[in-house]
Amino acid sequence: MLEFQHVSKTFKSQEVLHDISMEIHDGEFVVLIGPSGCGKTTTLKMINRLISPTGGQILLNGKDIRSEDVIRLRRNMGYVIQQTGLFPHMNIEDNMEVIARLEHVEPDQRKARTRELMEMVGLDYDEFSHRYPQELSGGQQQRIGVARAFALDPDIILMDEPFSALDPITRSSLQDQLLQIQENVRKTIVFVTHDMDEAIKIADRICIMHDGHIVQFDTPEEILKHPVNEFVSNFVGKNRIWDSPELIRASDIMIRHVITTYPGVSLVRAYEYMRYNKVDTLMVVDHRHSLQGMITASMIRRQPRDNHLLVKDIMIEPEYCAKEEDNLVDVMQKTKQHDFYNVPVLDEQGTLCGLITRSSLVTTFSKQFDLEEGEQA
């Protein structure tokens, strides 16, 4: 684990970092973001001691990094920068093997590792290994820069705006590739960017900085839904959650007060209960509030008038039940595919905790337009 404890930094007489404290867990992808001059790159460079803190300490696995040999520390961390950092007089294979040579890795092992890493970033070893950096496109050069950071299999990868100079299509492709790599290798990655869309796409957690302070450090979902103050709200964009509908959960849009009944209730009472509550559907639960089925007004009306039937005699099992963590995109696809009008939402224990209706979906989407009109006013 990487831990900042009350870290500050002063350049000349100006304090650029103020009492920074945070924990970055093993295998976590953390993005540092904020306006220019907020201290994000300074924070990143403190991790490999390119910059030393004025106060506080940075711990790696419980040990102050200042007690480590600085060369050994840096060789155990991958580092990717915007300009790729490739040596123009070396071919790609030699660029990839720079650190491995310094570590006296055997030639056969170096070559095998280079081939493996180039394939990892989608570049054919036989085609590209003997080319020089100027013979590659910007995207290909950055792929080599990313691959080289993994050369000695470090636990931590530092990335300082590595994709910012690339065109949008190449940038998106490299983001996807980085996520695929991370899914396979699970390194601790600390990534600096100015781009909120990029941060939302790739981060496990986002650290938003402003004037040398950490303003909010949380998951993309929580930041989009619950910005801590006006600065974060404006920086993120008040309507940005709609650019990422997969972050809107069933629990965000469901009706929490669900009108329910029990299996042993008569159809007559169930029908009167519907009329009283102005609904046409009841969820059927047991005494533990576990979902047993559902019943509609039309189902009751189809029964003979003089019947002694109970709810349990005609109730049906819902064709689809959402989970609290299901996202809006999945729920919408299911409702459209099967023409559902009511979708029960269950927790992990199968307890009914909410209901998504056509009305609740309309209400959710109307909030988007309310926000847009507010921003235009």
Express as a percent the part of the chain with pLDDT over 90: 59
Residue 371 to residues 11, 38, 238, Cα–Cα distance (Å): 41, 28, 7
State the pairing for strand pair 14-24/281-285. unpaired
Domains of the chain: 2-248 (3.40.50.300), 251-364 (3.10.580.10)
The mean pLDDT of 328-343, rounded to a whole number, is 76
Asked if 85 contacts 74 with a C-beta cutoff of 8 angstroms, the reply is: no
Query: How far is Cα 237 from Cα 282, in angstroms, rounded to an integer?
Result: 39
Burial class (CB in 10 A: 0-12, 13-18, 19+), 271: middle
- What per-residue confidence (pLDDT) applies to 7? 97
- What per-residue confidence (pLDDT) applies to 167? 85
pLDDT band at 236 (very low <50, low <70, confident <90, very high): confident
Q: Is the pLDDT of residue 20 over 70?
A: yes
Q: What are phi and psi of 105, to 5 degrees?
A: -75, 140
In this predicted model, what pLDDT tens digit does every residue of 148-165 receive, in sequence order?
999 888 999 999 999 888
- What per-residue confidence (pLDDT) applies to 50? 95
Window from 119-123, 144-148, 235-239, 327-331 with minimum mean pLDDT: 235-239
In this predicted model, what pLDDT tens digit does every residue of 22-64 receive, in sequence order?
999 999 999 999 999 999 999 999 999 999 999 999 999 999 9
Sheet containing 322-323: which strands, arranged edge to edge?
322-323, 342-346, 352-357
- What per-residue confidence (pLDDT) applies to 96? 92
Planar angle of CA 283, 288, 291, nearest 5 degrees: 30
- What per-residue confidence (pLDDT) applies to 376? 45
The mean pLDDT of 225-230, rounded to a whole number, is 88
Q: Is the pLDDT of residue 362 over 90?
A: no
Position with higher pLDDT, 85 vs 223 = 223
**Contacts for 4 with CB less than 8 Å, ≥ 6 apart:** 20, 21, 22, 23, 43, 56, 58
Q: Is the pLDDT of residue 377 over 50?
A: no
Average pLDDT over the chain reads 89
Q: Is the pLDDT of residue 374 over 70?
A: no
Window from 8-17, 262-271, 334-343 with minimum mean pLDDT: 334-343
Window from 104-113, 188-197, 366-375 with minimum mean pLDDT: 366-375
Q: Is the pLDDT of residue 369 over 60?
A: no
Window from 247-251, 287-291, 371-375 with minimum mean pLDDT: 371-375
- What per-residue confidence (pLDDT) applies to 297? 93
- What per-residue confidence (pLDDT) applies to 364? 64
pLDDT band at 171 (very low <50, low <70, confident <90, very high): confident
